[in-house]
Amino acid sequence: MSRPAELVRDTEMTAPSGTTILYPSSGGNIHTFQAITPCAILDILSPPYSSEHGRHCTYFRKSPRRDLPGELQLNGMMTISDVTWLEEFQPPDNFVIRRGQYKGPVIRR
């Protein structure tokens, strides 16, 4: 099943790079990383994913379907013109996530 997503920001980052914060209620929290050179990503999730608390981790990729609209109308009033369609998928077996406790400074909105 494909789901619509609106592109909010498309940025190429290079080291050293400042902190980027994504909030689900203002700008979304679907993100992708594509390494141009070997690197490591520190992705801090707060609160962390927890299926038992309803915070599932889901992986998406762009839908290969070509019959989906590039515009979407919400509530019959607002039109979003930069729509990307995503579908869920399971990451490959060699995809590695290491969990740890964040001990850095408090992050506030």
Predicted confidence at residue 13, as pLDDT, reads 78
Q: What is the pLDDT of residues 24-75, one digit of tens each?
A: 666 566 777 778 888 777 777 777 778 888 877 888 888 877 777 666 666 6
More confident residue, 94 or 31: 94
pLDDT band at 105 (very low <50, low <70, confident <90, very high): confident
- Distant-in-sequence, close-in-space partners of 52: CB < 8 Å, separation ≥ 6: none
Predicted confidence at residue 80, as pLDDT, reads 64
Task: Look at the pTM and tell me if it is higher than 0.75.
Answer: no
Shortest CA distance to 6 belongs to which of 34, 29, 38?
29
Distance, CA of 4 to CA of 50 (rounded, Å): 24
